[in-house]
Amino acid sequence: MVKTLGISTSARSQMVNITQEVAAAVLESGVTRGVCRVFVPHTTAAVTINESADPDVAADILAALDGLVPWNGGYRHGEGNSAAHIKASLVGPELTLLVEDGRLVLGTWQGVFLCEFDGPRKRKVLVRVDEA
């Protein structure tokens, strides 16, 4: 089963917690033990797992990425969003999570995030859940 999530972002750079949406897709799949794959079919967005309890962590990650890959870096790409492409490549387009007892296996503080690097936009996140 593949479920497509539609996620709207509201800023140029943003980390959107999509844990509940991914967990709902797992529940909907009926899979009790297996794997959940999360994939973003975009070149300027990514997905990651990180702390979801303190929003300052997401802000710190975005600030660190801005420091590593500044928007005005003298890039050659004519669209002007090379920094977003580079950040998306660094973070990555996919995750694999375990499913046990019909639920995502995540640590106490972990959440699943869509990372927007060229927003605001409407993004697709594909979730596939397979039985083990």
Q: What is the pLDDT of residue 80?
A: 86
pTM summary value? 0.96
**Is the separation of the CB atoms in 27 and 102 below 8 Å?**
yes
Q: What is the pLDDT of residue 1?
A: 75
- What would the two tokens of residue 19 be? 């844990």
Which residues, 6+ apart, have CB-to-CB distance to 82 below 8 Å? 73, 75, 76
Q: What is the CATH number of the domain that holds 27?
A: 2.60.120.460
Domain tally for the chain?
1
Q: What is the pLDDT of residue 73?
A: 87
Omega cis (within 30) before 120? yes
Handedness of CA 98, 37, 6, 14 (dihedral sign): positive
pLDDT digits (tens, 9 = 90+) for 93-126: 999 999 999 999 999 999 999 999 999 999 999 9
Domain that holds residue 71: 2-131
Instruction: State the 10-residue block means of pLDDT for the chain, 132 residues long.
Output: 95 98 98 98 98 97 97 89 97 98 97 98 98 93
Distance from the Cα of residue 88 to its chain's centroid: 10
Q: What is the pLDDT of residue 39?
A: 98
* Cβ-based neighbour number of residue 122 at 10 Å: 9
**Is the separation of the CB atoms in 47 and 92 below 8 Å?**
yes
